Amino acid sequence: MNQPDFLSTNAPQDTPQPAPKAPVAPQVASELESLKAMLQALEIPHKFDVEAMGLEEKDISAMAGLLRLDQNMQVSGFTWTPEDDTAYKEVNSNIHHILERFTTVPSDSNEGILTAFLRNKLAEVDLAATQIPR
C-alpha cells in the first residue's frame, strides 16, 4: 500500500511565509551602492552611514540622479529632452535641499566632503545644461 509522501518537495506548502520587512527599494539600494563607491573614491571613509548623515531615500535618489544626468550629458550628441528637464528640476531641487541641511558642517567631515562634491557636480551639470541643444 502506497503512503502519500508529505515531505516531498511536490507536496503543497501550507506554511505561511513571514511578511517581508519593508526593505529599501531595489533601485535605491543599487543607487546607494553606487554612491558608496563614489564616496570611497573621494576618500570618505567606507563607513558611509546614511542614517547618521540624515540622508533619506529621496536624497540618495537625487544624488544618483545627479550623477546619471552628468554621465548622460557627457555623451556626444546628447540632446536635452523634456524628460531630462523634469529630472533635472527635481534633482536640482532635492540636491539644494541636501546642501541646505549641511551648510554648517565642518568641511573635513563626511558631510562636508559630500557637500563640496555635490556643489561642484551640481555646478558642472548646471553649466552643461545651458550648453546642450534642446
Class of residue 59 by CB neighbours under 10 A (exposed 0-12, middle 13-18, buried 19+):
buried
pLDDT for position 13? 53
Residue 7 lies in a domain: no
Domain of 78 in residue numbering reads as: 59-134
Residue 95 lies in a domain: yes
Across 52-62, average pLDDT: 81
Residue 40 lies in a domain: no
Residue 28 lies in a domain: no
Residue 84 lies in a domain: yes
Q: Using alpha carbons, list the distances in angstroms from residue 16 to 10, 20, 35, 68.
A: 17, 12, 37, 41
Residue 29 lies in a domain: no
Residue 92 lies in a domain: yes
pTM flag (> 0.85): no
pLDDT mean across residues, the chain: 74
pLDDT for position 57? 82
Residue 76 lies in a domain: yes
- How many domains does the chain contain in total? 1
pLDDT for position 40? 67
DSSP 8-state code for residue 13: -
